[in-house]
Amino acid sequence: MTDQYGRNIDYMRLSITDRCNLRCKYCMPEGITLTPHCEILTYEELLRVAAQAVALGVTKFKVTGGEPLVRKGCVGFVGQLKALPGVEQVTMTTNGLLLGEQLEGLVAAGLDAVNISLDTVNDEKYGKLTGYRGSALPRLMALLEQCVAIGMRTKVNVVLLEENQDELPELAAIAQHLPVDVRFIELMPIGYGASASGFSPDRALEQLKGCWPDLSPVSEKRGNGPAHYYASASLVGRIGFIDAVSHAFCADCNRVRLTSTGLLKPCLCYETSTDLKAVLRSGGSDADLREALRQAIYAKPRAHCFAQRDSITEQKGMSQIGG
């Protein structure tokens, strides 16, 4: 369906848990309070919401979290979501730590693509940024190769941080060795991201042009999102940028988000949401659910307000919203 500004909303992000096996500093640092399990939507409830979203024209879903793969039964959920009539695409965003062991099941369940979040290629820094104890990088690099080998469409998400500004070429070089897109995401001032220090995407692009001078924009569409991409003859994958703060792309926004507690969020920036859990748990019919969704989608705000920080009303963290 189209919203009040005529944008076609066909993409929904589903956060299926606020739990995570990492503690990324800008997302979910140590000590964060978790939501009681009873407040998190069950898979049945998520599927009811998804089915009504499909009835309104949503065809693509992103399964996210927290870390989606820490929730038991995630593979089965992906299969059920993909099997809903009218669903064209189910993709996932994950930190990858549990992906190796669940990849085969996810492929069988029909997962169409995966985004793996990786902010550094330095093991020690990975530990500092995420709280992970041990060596994750060799495993994550092998996982990328495994995803490519089985033909899974794979992207790497890198949040542009003060801490990784010195290794952007190394991160981008993943696209030199493997046919994966490496996307640099501007840090958004949401949740703990508001107190973290980011790095400018424009400066990142300049830095990368120093390594790949022929890096030039490509117009092809590569996914459902707002990333814009660059290609070089020396890269098999593409380099992407998601620069929501410095280059707003609200006029083309196609998405809504469902938090793990069932709040339908039409825009990342604002706290305004529709409590679908209340509809689900008060005996609401599918028609009630669809009407609540329809109203929320229609009323989607024209634009975010990242440029005026005082106007940001969202208080939740990204681990609750799903990124």
Of 156, 180, 187, 258, the one binding ligand SAM (CB under 6 A) is 187
Q: How far is the CB of 214 from ligand SF4 (least distance, A)?
A: 32
Region 6-45 residues binding ligand SAM, contact defined as CB under 6 A: 20, 26-27
How far is 69 from 102, CA to CA, in rounded Å? 8
Of positions 66, 225, 226, 240, contacts ligand SF4 by CB under 6 A: 66
Strand 113-117 and strand 153-160: the pairing is: parallel
Around Cβ 83, how many Cβ atoms within 10 Å?
12
DSSP bridge pairs for 241: 184, 228
Which among ligand SAM, ligand SF4, none contacts residue 156 (Cβ within 5 to 8 A by kind)?
none
Residue 74 found at the interface with ligand SF4 (CB under 6 A): no
263-265 and 274-275 as β-strands: parallel, antiparallel, unpaired? antiparallel
DSSP string, 255-285: EEEE-TTSEEES-TT----EEHHHHHHTT--
Kindly provide the b/e burial profile for residues 38-47, where b requires at least 16 CB atoms within 10 angstroms of the residue's own CB: eebbbbebbb
* Residue 13, H or E segment: strand 11-15
Q: In this chain, which of 41, 53, 159, 208 binds ligand SAM, going by CB under 6 A? A: 159
- 154 contacts ligand SF4 (rule: CB under 6 A): no
Q: Is 156 a residue that touches ligand SAM (CB under 6 A)?
A: no
* Crossing angle between the packed helical segments 43-55 and 286-298, to the nearest 10 degrees: 60
When the beta carbons of 95 and 224 are compared against ligand SF4, the nearer one is: 95
Among 17, 61, 63, 67, binds ligand SF4 (CB under 6 A): 67
The entry of ligand SF4, ligand SAM, none that residue 193 binds, CB within 5 to 8 Å by partner kind: ligand SAM
> Which of ligand SF4, ligand SAM, none is residue 225 near (CB under 5 to 8 Å by kind)?
none
Spatial separation of the C-alpha atoms in residues 34 and 320, rounded to whole Å: 9
Indicate whether 305 belongs to the interface with ligand SAM (CB under 6 A): no
| Residue 24 near ligand SF4 by CB under 6 A | yes
Q: Which residues are near ligand SF4 by CB under 6 A?
A: 20, 22-24, 27-28, 65-67, 95, 117, 318-319
